[in-house]
Structure 1
Amino acid sequence: MDSGLTPVKPPENELLIVTGMSGAGRTTAAHALEDLGWYVVEGLPPELITTMIDLISRHPGSMEKLAVVIDVRTRALFSNMLGALNQLKATGVTYRMLFLDSSDELLVRRFEQGRRPHPLQGSGRILDGITAERELLKDVKAAAEIVLDTTDLNVHGLAREIIEIFNDDGPVQLRLNVMSFGFKYGVPADANFIADMRFIPNPHWVPELRPYTGLDSQVSEYVLGNEGTGDFLDNYVESLRPVIEGYRRENKHYANIAVGCTGGKHRSVAVSEELSRRLDQLPNVTVNTIHRDLGRE
């Protein structure tokens, strides 16, 4: 049966779809990609991606790396974004998707500082627009190969992240972010895996350890020397091996591992450091360690 799809020749190298929450850093990401030699097209309605790829195919070699930035300003067209991308894939074009996210609180602050309305807020509040956008984008985010939370990144930090992921040699085979956090401050929204360290005795209740953190040797030795911690680390790293291999097969290059304890000061920090050290020994893996709640009361 004729599918009705127009054959489209894929780009010679890479096609990247950049999307995400308004205010989460799409423009900064686009500029960083341009600095890396990508040809960036901003504000393109999803239905026009196939048309653009067809146009590029008529000029072989003209664009080795194409990034298309899509946002919700064209809401009526955006609503069928996944349908348009599925149609693109059906014509033989392969692509990856980068989704930029951030916390509601930070997005509200960014819009307020910029003194501009959210594109979907209408006559309501900025937060109303953000809520509507999250609902519109939930399936798109779930389909993205790379989800990058920019809550704790300024423009320079975000640019560095983009450069590390999409460098001149292509993206690293797999980049793992290991983040310690405190459950009382909330679970990281972009975590692919969550490990709970509250099974380990809490150094907070040991008076001589309470002032220190998981970065200090006294606490680290206490946490890692606890019965069960070593077994957990051995088994957890081993359980991640088939996941890592599966990510490579599925062309997924970025994942977040969140390691939590009550306050994000002792147990999660010590275990995150050791977990990062072990994961960094795996072939073709780059590990970045972040301690989200270290220093909070």
Structure 2
Amino acid sequence: MAETASESSGEIIIVTGMSGAGRSTVANALEDMGWYVVDNLPPQMLKPLLDLSGLASEALPRVAAVVDVRGGALFTELPEVTRALRGAREQLRVVFLDASDDVLVRRYEAVRRPHPLQDDGTIVDGIRRERQRLATVRESADVVIDTSDFNVHQLATHVVELFSDRGAARHALTVLSFGFKYGLPPDADMVADMRFLPNPYWQDELRALTGEDDAVREYVLAQPGAEDFLDTYTRAVADVLAGYQRENKRHSVLAVGCTGGKHRSVAMAAELGRRLQDVAGVAVRVAHRDLGRE
């Protein structure tokens, strides 16, 4: 989600997060998009890298640095180094990759490799230690990507959607429909609950359809309170997005939920996405997490 070509000059992304959450996949995707990627960089080397990218802006217009616990004791200085750099570089972003513990365990078991922090313990012990060490980094990240439900191809596609050029957009908003019975999206910045609307599931002629079908969309939008909610919530989110841009937050997720993520949330997410496209400086993407799930 770079700015224009001239504005993207000198951009740098710090890619970090949980081991096994997909750092290599993200690095490869960025490299395929033309970013200059440096892997396993000690945090203390970020300042020289920034200086280098500034001096060679044409040769290194966009740089991604992968920083992780393999740096050992040096990694503990990442939060302090990042804070110091933010004041000097407006286009610095930290991307944190995460996944649920059970997914991380399965991934390590699949490749039959130990976790870098498990020592003489188990993979779970290593994951627990890493979460404790990364808590501050995750909290201050500009973008958090939960990769639990992604395969490598889906994650690469997501990275392209987030970081490819988007004209003059300063902020990328994902409006994501979901079903509460499958759990809240862990990377949601805002959550809207559509269960105040009647459920089309109980209409025999609508049950097999989804919120992408005109009949369901028209039914949902015609319900008492739907239009008032859309008007009020769109204005509120527009104010939030303006604030995100002032704070240089480049990406956010608006999660729109209903019971199963099939009818109400899908229709309302699409309508919110359509209305929010008019917010200045924002590129909007609509996605449906649980559409098609049983």
Q: TM-score range by the shorter chain?
A: 0.7 to 0.9
Counterpart in the other structure of 1:227: 224
Say which of 23, 30, 39 aligns to 1:42: 39
Deviation track 1:86-111 (CA, whole Å, cap 9, x = no partner) reads 23346668621112222333322222
Question: Structure 1's 12 and 287: CA in aligned 2 closer, same or farther, altered over 3 A?
Answer: closer
Distance 2:289 2:59 in 1: 42
> 1:54 Cα deviation (Å)?
5.0
Kindly indicate whether residue 199 of structure 2 is the aligned counterpart of residue 202 of structure 1.
yes
Are 2:12 and 2:62, in contact at CA under 8 Å, matched by a contact in 1? yes
Could you tell me which residue of structure 1 aligns to residue 178 of structure 2?
A: 181
From 69, 72, 81, the counterpart of 2:78: 81
Describe how 1:60-209 pairs up with structure 2 within 5 A: 62-89=59-86, 95-167=92-164, 172-209=169-206
SS in 2 for 1:80: helix
Q: Give the AA of the match of 1:133.
A: E
Contact 1:46 1:81 in 2 (8 A): yes
Between the aligned partners of 2:226 and 2:90, the Cα distance in structure 1 is: 46
1:215 aligns with: 212
Gaps (5+ residues) in structure 2?
Answer: 1-7
* Residues 213-265 of structure 1: CA deviation (Å, up to 9, x unaligned): 22223322221111001111111111111222222222222110101112222
Q: Are the aligned partners of 2:14 and 2:93 in contact in 1 as well (CA < 8 Å)? A: yes
Alignment check: 8 A CA contact 1:99 1:146 kept: yes
Comparing 218-227 with 44-53, greater Cα deviation is found at 44-53
Mapped partners of 1:153, 1:110: distance in 2 = 12
Report the counterpart of residue 14 of structure 2 in structure 1: 17
For 1:197 and 1:47, how far apart are their aligned partners in 2?
Answer: 47
**213-222 or 184-193, which deviates more:** 213-222
| 1:289 match: secondary structure | strand
**1:36 partner letter:** M
Give the stretch that moved more between structures: 230-239 or 62-71: 62-71
Structure-to-structure mapping, 1:248-263, within 5 angstroms:
248-263=245-260
Measured after TM superposition, the shift of residue 290 of structure 1 is: 1.9
Deviation at 1:171, TM superposition (A): 8.1
Q: Which digits, 9 at most, give the CA deviation of each residue in 1:186-227, with x for residues without a partner?
A: 111000000011111222333333333222233222211110
Distance in structure 2 (CA, Å) of the matches to 1:158 and 1:246: 28
Note closer, same or farther for the CA distance 1:245–1:58 as it changes in structure 2 (3 Å cut): closer
- Deviation per residue, 1:161-188 (Å, 9 max, x gap): 3233333577842211111111121111
Cα distance 1:178–1:55, how it changes in 2: closer, same or farther (>3 A)? Answer: closer
Match of 2:290 in 1: 293
Gaps of 5+ in 1: 1-10
Q: Is the 8 A contact 1:172 1:253 kept in 2?
A: no
**Could you tell me which residue of structure 2 aligns to residue 243 of structure 1?**
240
Task: Give the letter for the 1:213 counterpart.
Answer: T
For the 8 Å contact 1:118–1:129, the answer to whether it is kept is yes
In the alignment, what sits opposite 2:263?
Answer: 266
Contact 1:171-1:253 at 8 Å conserved across structures? no
Q: Percent identity?
A: 52
Letter in 2 for 1:79: T
8 Å contact kept, 1:165–1:171: no
> Aligned residue pairs: how many?
287
Summarize the Cα distance change of 1:65–1:170 in structure 2 as closer, same or farther, 3 Å threshold: farther
Deviates more, 1:57-66 or 1:185-194: 57-66
**TM-score, normalised to structure 1's length?**
0.86
Relative distance call for 1:240 and 1:117 in structure 2 (3 A) is same
User: Structure 2 vs 1, CA of residues 124 and 284 (structure 1 numbering), >3 Å: closer, same or farther?
Assistant: same
Give the whole-Å Cα distance in 1 for the aligned partners of 2:51 and 2:234: 44
Change (3 A) 1:90 1:166: closer
Which residue is 1:33 aligned to?
30
- Structure 1: which amino acid aligns with 2:240? V
Q: Find the aligned partners of 2:241 and 2:268 in 1 and give their Cα distance.
A: 20
Comparing 178-187 with 43-52, greater Cα deviation is found at 43-52
